[in-house]
Structure 1
Amino acid sequence: MDTTAERQVRLEGVERVLKMSQERIKIAMIIPKLLENPEKLKSVLKDTCYEEVLEPIDDMIRHLGKQSGRSKLPHDHTTMRIVDFFLVNHSIHRFFPHLKKNLNERDRQLLAAFHFLLESAHVHLHRSSRSEITKERKLHAIFHQNVDIKKKIKELKASLAFQKVIGKWKTAAKGIYLMKVEEDLANKKWQNNVAIQNEIEKCHRTMRSYHKSSMDRQKELEEELQNARESYEKMTKKHLAEEHELRSEKNKLLLQLQSMLKKYDTSLGEKMRENLVAEDQYLAAKKVLDDFMVQYRQEERIYKNIVVKREEEERRVQQEKLVIFMMNRAAGKIQKYWRKWKKDQRKRKRQGKGKGKKGK
């Protein structure tokens, strides 16, 4: 347990030294740029925990002021003191991030290499035997997988070569089949061309026959057209003569119609005058009738009142007679029924007396 703790302390010390070295390399890379502008350096470090370096910087500035014409830093105790202070207090580089960003390519590569060295050291220092055994097992498994993969690749290559051979044979067979198909196609093309030529000749013969029949038919139609024109001219002349006759007849009829219209107008005027006279007579008679109807309606109302009263009186008298008749009839029926009942009663009494005598 003590050995493990001691080993852990040593490992942490190694890592700490490496990290410190990395930080010192960073500050060492920007020290020349910091000392090129000491005034800015003083303004940044003022009022910080690093103020003790300001006095040596002032000495350096005064020394540079005395040596006019020289821009290089002197290699004296003051400069070394400033450099040692920066190397000891390497965290000062955090105040100047822009200087780290403006490093040249070589310095950046150096920092990247040192960072990789630090990470590699961390990995190698902290690895254990168990992790190494696990890695070895994984590598062994990967090796076997690689062997299997190589074997499969070899088999696939052999299969691919076999497939290529088969493909070549298939291509050759397809080529032969294609040649045969092309020959058949050429033969069919020749046959089709022959058939097309025969059809063309047949069509030409048919067209010639159609043309001949068409020309014959055209001649017949021209003759028919000529005959139709002649008949049309004859019919036109005939129709013109008939039209002339019909026009003359139409004129005669129009004259007759005009005379009839004049006669109708004359008779219509007389009838209208007669109608007006009759209408005046009708209006006068209608006025007389209206006066008569007024008087007639008055007398009719009086007559209806008298007739209604008389009918009501007659109806009342008849109703009274009917009531008296019904009462008399009912009284007769009652009397008849009463007499019959009395007779039945007397008869029953006599029968009752006769039965009593027989019993004695």
Structure 2
Amino acid sequence: MQPLIPERLDAELIDEESHFFKRLGEVRLSEDSALQAEAPLCTSASIRGTVLACTSTGVRSIQTAKLIAVLQKGKDGGSITATDMDSLAGASLISRHLSAVCVDDAQLFVALVYGSAVRVFGLHDLLTGKDEHCATWVAPGDQLIEQFIWGPSSAAEATGYVLTDAGHLLVGTLTSELQPWQPTDTGSGKACVAISPAGRLLALARGQQLTIHALERSDTVCIQIQSQELQSREEGTELHVTSLHWLAPSAVLITCAMSLDGAEQDQVPMMALQWSSWTPGQGSMQGLKLVEFFPLNVNPEAPFPCGSSSCLHVASIPAWGVHVVAHAKANDDHIRLIGLSPKGGAVHSLEVTGEFTAIRIPTGPDDADNFITGLALDLTSTQPRTICSFPGSSRSR
């Protein structure tokens, strides 16, 4: 299949004060000076007002309201005392060898990934102190699970997708074992995967090629991913897609890694692929464009595997058309805001630069670099609301 070449555009940068953050404080989960577990530190069940936090002693479920009650403020991580987690948390699950904690979109199930196995728990059971899992998926052979994502789920059934370190994509349900997603899928090597919010489209990337599959009509389109950043790099620098996240039914956020002679470079290109329509059976998309953002500055020596899909964290506020983005290797400009109107239009970058309106990540003990290993939004404690509106503007928040 001949890959499509999208039109490349620079993302519009909107520098305004219509979006801002208010710092409430921090909670130190343990006395450890660094995160020992490999999994993202936190995710949220926003409908249930709960945070799932991973520490070196276990995965804990904590009510957001309880966290807010014990917040502290310090100049750096070393000036904040550790909180007694036993007084806050519900059930505790083993965090040793844990690589991912994933809550499904319907917030019915939570999946914990351990090496080559996935254990699935009912979220309600977990929040009420029960720690019995309802399903287990195991990757065949000696394959390790590189990435796990949830497909559509309901109270009766749920679908999980597993991407192995060999690049094989597998799918399972609560009542069935993992099976090859497509018998014809013979791809291998590093890959990443994401499924659209409604579960109708699946994006799978290997190297610089992104393939989007329409699950309901067995249609496929292949797209070549490029970056302006390669032009300023030494000859031989390679680009490969490392993370995917759906922003909308026709928009996918993409991050890439650049490497030279196997050495990871200090910048991560980030872009969004958008299209206006996709005609079934024609293998082409209309209005296909690749909107590129300013690259992320990263520390290649940060303790995360090169190309790890878990490095990208995205949390969304659909009512505002705003997506909060963080990269686990970023050592500066930790938090980015991406705007995409629910009514359509181009993806754009929202700049929050005010000293008291941007998110500032405290440094570690002794002024050490700090990295974001998890990102979540919980809208049950504080509902998003419009504080003021300026004439002709719909972005004031």
User: TM-score range with shorter-chain normalisation?
Assistant: under 0.3
Query: Normalised by the size of structure 2, how large is the TM-score?
Result: 0.14
Which structure's residues are more often helix, by fraction? 1
Relative CO higher for 1 or 2, CA cutoff 8 Å, sep ≥ 6? 2
Larger radius of gyration: 1
Query: Normalised by the size of structure 1, how large is the TM-score?
Result: 0.15
